[in-house]
Amino acid sequence: MKKPLLLISFLGIIIVVLLLVRISMINSISTTGIKLVDIQNEIDSYNKQNEILKVKYLQAAAYTNIASKAKKIGYVPVKSDIDLSAPLPLALR
């Protein structure tokens, strides 16, 4: 009579332990899911900021923008009369 009672109590203890393990695992997974959503939202925010910064960078680095800022500061294009594309003779015969 003791053996079935011992077996039933042992199985009951195992069931309770497994239920506690299951509850802790589910709690851990739900917390991880919330953190994952927060991290994904943060990544989306950073991606949007990167796109905005990329557009601003390309606008600032555009040649027309640089040329207009140079004119505002007072730089003018230099037109040189010296042409170095043709080689100069070193000595005359």
What is the rounded end-to-end Cα distance, in angstroms, of the chain?
A: 130
47 band by pLDDT with thresholds 50, 70 and 90: very high
Which tens digits make up the pLDDT trace of 24-35?
A: 888 888 777 788
Radius of gyration, alpha carbons of the chain: 38
Joined together, the tokens standing for residue 58 give 């390309």
pTM of the model: 0.48
